[in-house]
Amino acid sequence: MPNKNFFETNFSNAINNALEIAMKNDKNVICYGLGVTDPKGVFGTTTGLEKKFGKHRVFDVPTSENALTGIGIGASLNNLRCVMTHQRVDFFLLAMDQLVNNASKWYYMYGGKKSVPITIRLIVGRGWGQGPTHSQNLQSWFAHIPGLKVVMPSNPYDAKGMLLSSIYDPNPVIFLENRWLHYTKASIPKKKYFVPINKAKIVKKGKDITIVSMSYLTPEAIIASKYLEKLKISSEVIDLRSIKPIDFLTIRKSIKKTKNLLVLDTGFKFCSVSSEIITSILEKNHKILKNPPNRLTMPDIPEPTSFGLTKHIYMTHLEIISKVLDILKINKKYLKKLKISKPKFHDVPNEGFKGPF
């Protein structure tokens, strides 16, 4: 029987629902960004909000990313809670000055007088030839800056709970949404709830290897771990959820048990979140692992546009399984046994997707 306290929804609706709850509960919450009131409502994440809360609190903006970030900072200094939205991370790069020189350090550099409770939603593009300037995963840039929090939810439940936590957090939070996750479905509570911004989640228990993942790689890791079970390999999948602060405790506890580590990262390899995780683990105890740690990331090249090129670099459960076998020194012939079929098109989130955005 369906539980009346839950509802069936997808990731973008979960975002919409969180925004609605926050705006209903607190008249200081405002929401703005390019396209938030247009007919597409930022992939449905802001649809209907203007009607419910009025055009003073929900509004479209000029193409002025840097100024509007500063404007959000200013408004938050007078206790508004701004949720700013960008259809691509790449567009937000214009605002690095306001983010890095102001938002991240305002609290610290004025001796803890006034913090900046701004939430910046950034959508990461993927597939359909998004190309070099519409698909960047720059979580490690943001995580590098002291004073910023960075989250990457991987499912509708966390999306809602973490957005609410972000909005009520007294600090600036970078909220990264992968475009493909917008379609993922789940049944989630109707009421207000919070998912903390410092706790990773063990999404599958296991004992042979720890797979740490983030964002859209978490569903892939779960699929991989199911296949691995067929080979009698028991993997523990940890969804980071929060990139900064990062929950080393949960990761370390898991590795103590499994003694093996694979980190999945949606970003470029060099100086990535995966670099940080592996370093920090080994720094504390270089004997914790039985086998060398390993990782899967995007290669250190700009993401090309061509369908014929991205097919070589898009990571799926297949690459994850193969990497796990590598780490555990298991013969690759077992991979063939699994008879994993690849989707016909690597560059779409589902069969219904016909481009272009």
Partner 1 sequence: MKLNLLKNIYREFFRIRTIEEDLAKNYNDQKMRCPVHLSSGQEAVAAVFSNIVKKRDFAVSTHRGHAHYLAKGGNLNKMIAEIYGKEDGCSSGKGGSMHLIDLDVNFMGSTAIVGNSMPIGVGLGLSLKIKKQKGLSFVFLGDGAVESGVFYEALNFAAVKKLPVIFICENNLYSVYSSLEVRQPKNRKIYKLAREIGIKSEHCDGMDSLKIYKCLKRTISETRRGKGPQFIEFSTYRWREHCGPNYDNDIGYRTLKEFEFWKKKDPLSKLKKLILKKSPGQKKSLINIELSIKKEVKESFQRAKNMNFPKKSSLFKDVYAK
Ligand X SMILES: Cc1ncc(C[n+]2csc(CCOP(=O)(O)OP(=O)(O)O)c2C)c(N)n1
286 tagged catalytic: no
The smaller minimum CB distance to ligand X, of residues 50 and 65, is found at: 65
Residues in CB range of 257: below 8 A, 6 or more apart: 207, 210, 236
Rule CB under 6 A: which of 278-307 touch ligand X?
none
Question: Binding mask 47-86 vs ligand X (x if CB under 6 A, - otherwise)?
Answer: ----------------x-x---------------------
Least distance (Å) from partner 1 to the CB of residue 48?
Answer: 14
Helix pair 217-230, 317-327: axis angle to 10 deg = 60
* Residue 158 interacts with ligand X (CB under 6 A): yes or no: no
The three-class DSSP label of residue 12 is: helix
- Binding at 132: pick from ligand X, partner 1, none (beta carbon under 5-8 Å per type): partner 1
DSSP string, 295-329: EEEE-SSPPP--HHHHTTT---HHHHHHHHHHHTT
- The catalytic residue among 8, 50, 56, 65 is 65
Residue written as tokens 């379609």? 183
Per CB under 8 A, residues contacting partner 1 are 34-35, 37-40, 59-67, 90-91, 93-94, 128-134, 299-302, 304-309, 312-313, 347, 354-357
20 tagged catalytic: no
- Asked whether 173 and 198 are in contact (CB, 8 A), the reply is no
- Asked whether 76 and 99 are in contact (CB, 8 A), the reply is no
Question: Binding mask 25-54 vs ligand X (x if CB under 6 A, - otherwise)?
Answer: ---------x--------------------
The smaller minimum CB distance to partner 1, of residues 62 and 111, is found at: 62
SS3 helix, strand, coil % of the chain, rounded to 5? 35, 20, 45
- The catalytic residue among 50, 56, 86, 134 is 134
Active site residue ranges: 65, 134
